[in-house]
Amino acid sequence: MSEKIRELERQLQQAKAREEEARAREEEARAREEEARAREEEARAREENERREKEKEKLKNQKTTLAEYLHNCHFDIYQKLRLAGASESSTGLATSVDGKYYPKWLRPWTEFSANHRQEHFNDIIRVCEL
């Protein structure tokens, strides 16, 4: 009978060993799948980042319309202009006009903006839209 008990114990140990090996294989398979998923996710994230960078670069380098250009000039250049403080300005005397020609008075040119400014602006827009 003790022979039979030893045989059963041996079979039980073999079954436990097989079960342990099966668990180890399953765990390895899960780990490989997880690594593969992580690599795929990383690749997707990298591709998405590259796509966003290309789109950003494309928007940055695309041609602009005249209206966009003027708007950008206004906000990027004009808005940054600031008057210097009094300590940074010159304090010299005014230029002498002795012996030089200069107007004694100035007259406003009121028709300029009505007649020329809008007309020229429209011409510029028309040329730039071609």
pLDDT one-digit tens code per residue, 84-124: 777 777 666 777 888 888 888 998 888 877 777 777 778 88
**Domain ranges across the chain:** 1-62, 63-78+109-130
**Interval 18-65: pLDDT, tens:** 999 999 999 999 999 999 999 999 999 999 999 999 999 988 888 878
Distance CA 73, CA 77 (A): 5
Residues with Cβ within 8 Å of 125's Cβ and at least 6 positions away in sequence, in order, are 66, 67
User: Which among 62, 66, 70 has a CA at the least distance from the CA of 129?
Assistant: 66
Is the pTM above the cut of 0.75?
no
